[in-house]
Amino acid sequence: MDKATIKSIAQFLNSAELEKREVVKITKEHTDLDVETAYEVQEQLVLMKLEAGNEIIGPKMGLTSQAKMKQMGVEEPIYGYVFDYMVVNGDQLSMSELIHPKVEAEVAFIMGRDVQGPNITAEDILAATEYIIPALEIIDSRYENFNFTLPDVIADNASSSRVFLGTTLRRPQELELDLLGVTLSINGEIRELGAGAAILGHPANAIAMLANMLARKGLKIKAGQTILAGAITGAVMLQAGDTVSAKFDGLGTIDFKVKE
Ligand code: 0L1
Ligand code: MG
């Protein structure tokens, strides 16, 4: 696929996000879009957002649960980027800014040091992490009905849209991240639950994999970045009027309300 086409797909997806418009998956027309080219589209999309004055909070990992990987028929998770404008301040999510959002419970790593792959292990990540915080990611695929292939979702910045970051900070050594339990309730009813082990056996494994995937591109994890490790729970579709509450063992709660 030539550079101009890659750029035009990135523009198309960026406009869909900015205009809150759902679109048909890219691979319907561009049947030759493969994973490698999809990351090139994502790179262009990221560049457009940076040129528009947005800043990267950190990369994120997606499709880190066995269930999601099986569903997509993939053996490797994917990554995308969370930008500053995606971080929600306060406790309200505006439906009018989004297409068809879903929420999933995650943990985020706040990095104290740069980490440069390859051959990074979970132990390297834990040693380089300053704090762990709870997070609720809002994914909002730009594709109709969340209907996409793996290259589609990679090109679409792994459905990144919004994130609520919790205020409880813990050193990684203070937590057993694989055993960390989470419940995700909507309107007072538990809809999803899980443990940190849902993320590739241990959330630090996902961040190590991220460092190694970035290294293939000559990139690294940077000190100060806040990195979403992947979902501990399944993703739940949101509607205006919903009240969302997630409880994280040892990491407090995150609550928000969905408004029109
Ligand atoms: O954060 C993620 O796990 C990315 C999910 C991408 C797939 C989806 O939109 O369901
Ligand atoms: Mg996620």
Strand-pair category, 189-195 with 56-62: unpaired
Cβ < 6 A, ligand 1 pocket = 62-63, 137, 139, 141, 146, 153, 158-159, 230-231, 235
* Model confidence at 2: pLDDT above 90: yes
**Ligand approaching nearest to the C-alpha of 150:** 1
d(CA 47, CA 31): 24
Q: Which CATH superfamily is domain 3-259 in?
A: Fumarylacetoacetase-like, C-terminal domain (3.90.850.10)
pLDDT in tens, 155-182: 999 999 999 999 999 999 999 999 999 9
To test the ligand 1 pocket, which listed residue (141, 152, 160, 232) has its Cβ within 8 A of the most ligand atoms?
141
* Model confidence at 71: pLDDT above 80: no
pLDDT in tens, 186-243: 999 999 999 999 999 999 999 999 999 999 999 999 999 999 999 999 999 999 999 9
CA of 52 to the centre of ligand 1 (A): 24
Mean pLDDT of the chain: 97
> Which pLDDT value is given to residue 211?
98
pTM value surpassing 0.85: yes
CA of 158 to the centre of ligand 1 (A): 6
Which of 14-18, 133-137, 143-147, 252-256 has the least mean pLDDT?
143-147
